[in-house]
Copies of this chain bind each other. A is one copy, B any other.
Amino acid sequence: MNAEIIAVGSEMLTPSRVDTNSLWLTDQLNAMGVEVAQKAVVGDHRGRLAGAIREALGRSELVILSGGLGPTEDDLTREAVADATGRVLALNDTVLEAIATRFARLGRTMAEINKRQAYILAGAEVLPNPRGTAPGQWLELPEGRVVLLLPGPPGELKPLFENEALPRLRRLVPPLAIATLEFRVAGMPESDLDQLISPVYRRYENPVTTVLAKPGDIQVIFRARCATREEAERLVREMGDQVRPLLGDRVYSENGDPLEKVIGEMLLARAATLVVAESCTGGLLGARLTEVAGSSAWFRGGRIVYSMDEKRALIGDFTEDPVSEAVARRLAVCARERSGSTFALSITGVAGPDGGTEANPVGTVWIVLAGPGVVMARRFRFPGERARVRGFAVQNALEMLRRQMCEPVR
């Protein structure tokens, strides 16, 4: 089966917006053996949108639309699909009631324009959207064509696709067994990693290999598609067994878990806790650790020591440069002592764009890990602008802690 994805919305045609929904959808579709044959971005223009839908239906079995289901006049996906397929739109009382109930539960009155979101295409199945007002719609057409309407916000689109669209798709697509293996790797540039492992993965058409890189963090995903589950699992295992020794302990998870989750599990297993003392990252390390639900079991909190005063309140008076090994060490040691935590991580550096000196140019960051019987300091020089430097700093702080916990206990 071939699919096409159309992202709807004039804002998606501006220089600053990227259609990330289609990437996630592509991943989901590929996993069940559906190929994405073409993608489009169309503005809030009924005629253009209807045309794009008509063209896509002429080429591909499945057409997925994301966005344009909002309550305003420029949300035209429903109308455009009606135009392209010749189906009428009718007000659905059940959907209308669900929308009104949702508003009531949040203590608000439903605006009159939200009624537009209760219009459903004739013959379409309503896909309930517990996280938003706009329901999705699943419309099966003659000759096995399907149009799927999904809301644009990723937090609504993803669960709606997983819970409602996937089970319906599985009825239409011949079952294919899939096995995946996802290595997550820290502390290695993407090009170095690729040079290391591409001689292995290039020998295989199946599994397919995808390499994704963020600052200091790489995902390597192997996905095999076979007639049987056993065969698919054997293939990714075979690949993993060859790649694992090449990457060694730089692999921190083999199931796609992010670094903060892996660290949380390691801390939990040791009944250990963590605090932070953050200067240039200003809370970003804490924010990332607390993305993990249940992190209160191992993350205690800490200090955002952005100003000199806040640093002094934690470590007492000092005369050294705030971006120095001495200050970074005292931040970690004092944060640990004051809180009684097992571990403390401190970060102090120059995130830029200003504030660089000859001794500490922009991108210079000290990270210290203090733990039982250990205080470990590292100086980094990260490339790129402010957000990138801060992202690298957080990632490397987490990786220092993970490596320490991998060491045999002394």
Residues of A within 8 A of B (CB): 10-11, 13-20, 23-24, 26-27, 30, 35-43, 45, 48, 51-52, 55, 59, 70-73, 106-108, 111-114, 131, 133, 155, 189-192, 194-195, 198, 202, 208, 210-212, 273, 275-276, 278-287, 289-291, 293-296, 299-307, 309-310, 313, 338-340, 351-354, 381, 383-388, 390
Contact = CB atoms under 8 A, between A and B. Distances in A.
Contacts of A111: 191-192, 195
B191 A72 contact: yes
Most buried by B among A208, A212, A279: A212
Contacts of A305: 301
Contacts of A287: 281-284, 286-287
A113 B194 contact: yes
A287 B291 CA distance: 13
A26 B10 CA distance: 12
20 contacts: A13-B36, A15-B26, A18-B18, A37-B48, A38-B41, A39-B41, A155-B385, A155-B388, A279-B301, A281-B287, A281-B290, A283-B285, A284-B290, A286-B304, A293-B353, A296-B307, A300-B309, A301-B310, A302-B304, A304-B304
Contacts of A43: 37-38
A131 B215 CA distance: 13
Contacts of A42: 38
A30 B198 CA distance: 40
B37 A38 contact: no
A150 B273 CA distance: 44
**Oligomer: number of copies:** 2
A24 B133 CA distance: 34
B18 A23 contact: yes
A294 B194 CA distance: 38
Given A39-B13, A71-B194, A287-B284, A106 B300 contact: no
Most buried by B among A14, A289, A384, A388: A14
Contact of A294 (B16, B291, B354): B354
Contact of A313 (B40, B52, B339, B385): B339
Contacts of A155: 384-385, 387-388
A212 B9 CA distance: 10
A26 B11 CA distance: 12
A215 to B, nearest CB: 9
Given A13-B36, A52-B38, A195-B112, A286 B278 contact: yes
A39 B40 contact: yes
